[in-house]
A = this chain, B = another copy of it.
């Protein structure tokens, strides 16, 4: 697949795909004889994986490390697992924080809907 096709398929700009490759997120994308990127299915799977992780806010740094370990072979399995565990724990913590904020937003929206706000000074309504 060309970069334009991958770009369209995963809704990531060609610039972003090149950037990801440059920083080591998509290992060694092959080129045609003319030097043009030719994404294999395996490359596409990496792209999809990265997109999913990024969509959840996982940092590039962690993904770069994971990909690098992956390329180093089976012996790095435990390290890779640790990265995944750390990221999962961060994600879980973040979601818990967001859940609290979500509840607070819902409470406030409910207040607005019920016209409970009598005064700008009602601190709870912030």
Q: Chain A: residues with CB nearer than 8 A to chain B?
A: 42, 45-46, 49, 52-53, 55-58, 70, 73-74, 77-78, 80-81, 84-85, 87-88, 91-92, 94-95, 97-102, 104-106, 108-109, 112-113, 117, 120-121, 123, 126
Contact across chains for A56 and B109 when beta carbons are under 8 A apart: no
| Stoichiometry (number of copies) | 2
Contacts of A46 in B (CB 8 A): 126
Q: List 29 A-B contacts (CB under 8 A).
A: A42-B123, A45-B126, A49-B126, A52-B104, A55-B97, A56-B97, A56-B100, A56-B101, A56-B102, A57-B57, A57-B98, A58-B101, A73-B120, A74-B117, A77-B117, A81-B112, A81-B113, A84-B105, A84-B108, A87-B105, A88-B105, A88-B106, A88-B109, A91-B98, A92-B102, A94-B98, A95-B95, A95-B98, A98-B98
Contacts of A108 in B (CB 8 A): 84
- Given A81-B113, A112-B77, the answer on whether A100 and B52 have CB atoms closer than 8 Å is yes
Nearest B-chain residue to A98, judged by Cβ:
B56
